Amino acid sequence: MQTIHTLPRLALCLAALGGSHTALAERWAIGAGALYEQLPYRDYRQVVTPVPLLNYEGEQLFLRDSAVAGLFLLKSPADRLTLNLYYSPLHFRPSKSSDAALKRLDKRRATAMAGIGYRHDADWGALRAEAAADVLGNSNGVAIDAAYQYPLRLGRLYIAPGAGVTWHSRRHNDYYFGVSQRESLRSGLPAYRPDSGATPYASLTLSYAFSDSWQAFVLGRYTRLDNGARDSPMTARNGTVLIGGGIVYQFN
């Protein structure tokens, strides 16, 4: 099964939700799912997000879960090198926090990331690495991700435990977790400038094929925040949880 991106959060996060189960999409596939992600911000309202899923894979181009698009530079049964463009959903809206100080901060926007990725599949599992940068100028940050996954097939059931780590640059952390002097004066929070940092994570994906065309999946992921995010006056937890699920139909 393919896992094209999932920088950390596989935030994503929409990319995260889709990446682990899309081996079922060799040509076209459509589906629908839902994603719950526990954002790290203090007293922040959490929601369940509906997620439309659209997958396409051709000889040169691919689209994964309506959130990751790219170009194959190398494509073989064991190795894939890709150029990737994907949606990174991490954001902060002051109105979604019930904390009076956080309500006075500026918005942090979701963004688009572009970069290069590599995946190697073998009998002992799958290794993935990716480097990407913000292309919309929101954070101007960089993320580098490396992960290992061990897929198991038990009849129609697919199980894929995995683990990885994502490094985020100082600009990324400062945009999403820093507090400027201007914000400090307005909110009463201390000014804060985080450094770069690494966030380890563990994931588990389960899917079941009802037929050659229909497949259902569930997934979960726990991410441990790096020191820069944990020490921010904006946050109130050491880690975040992502849970998703859905159903997909593959056109044969």
For domain 9-251, the CATH architecture is Beta Barrel (2.40)
Query: Is the separation of the CB atoms in 102 and 68 below 8 Å?
Result: no
Res 252: pLDDT: 77
Helical segments of the chain, H only: 14-19, 170-177, 181-187, 227-230
- The CA distance from 56 to 250, in Å, is 10
* Distances from the Cα of 125 to the Cα of 116, 120, 201, 207, 227, angstroms: 21, 8, 17, 17, 30
DSSP 103-117: GGSPPB--EEEEEEE
Strands 68-75, 61-64: pairing is: antiparallel
The number of helix segments (H) and strand segments (E) in the chain equals 4, 14
**Of all helices (H) and strands (E), which one includes residue 126?**
strand 125-134
Spatial separation of the C-alpha atoms in residues 230 and 200, rounded to whole Å = 13
Convert the pLDDT of each residue in 93-107 to its tens digit: 999 999 999 999 999
Residue at 243: amino acid letter: I
- Write down the pLDDT at residue 23: 44
Q: What is the pLDDT of residues 157-194, one digit of tens each?
A: 999 999 999 999 999 999 999 999 999 999 999 999 99
Give me the amino acid identity at 111: T
What per-residue confidence (pLDDT) applies to 26? Answer: 56
Q: What CA–CA distance (Å, rounded) separates 204 from 215?
A: 17
The tens-digit pLDDT sequence of the chain (252 residues) is 333 333 333 333 333 333 444 443 458 999 999 999 888 999 998 889 898 999 999 989 999 877 889 999 999 999 999 999 999 989 999 999 999 999 999 999 999 999 999 999 999 999 999 999 999 999 999 999 999 999 999 999 999 999 999 999 999 999 999 999 999 999 999 999 999 999 999 999 999 999 999 999 999 999 999 999 999 999 999 999 999 999 999 987
Is-contact 21 153, C-beta < 8 A? no
Q: Left, alpha or beta for 19 (phi > 0: left; psi -120 to 50: alpha)?
A: alpha
Instruction: Give the pLDDT score at 67.
Output: 81
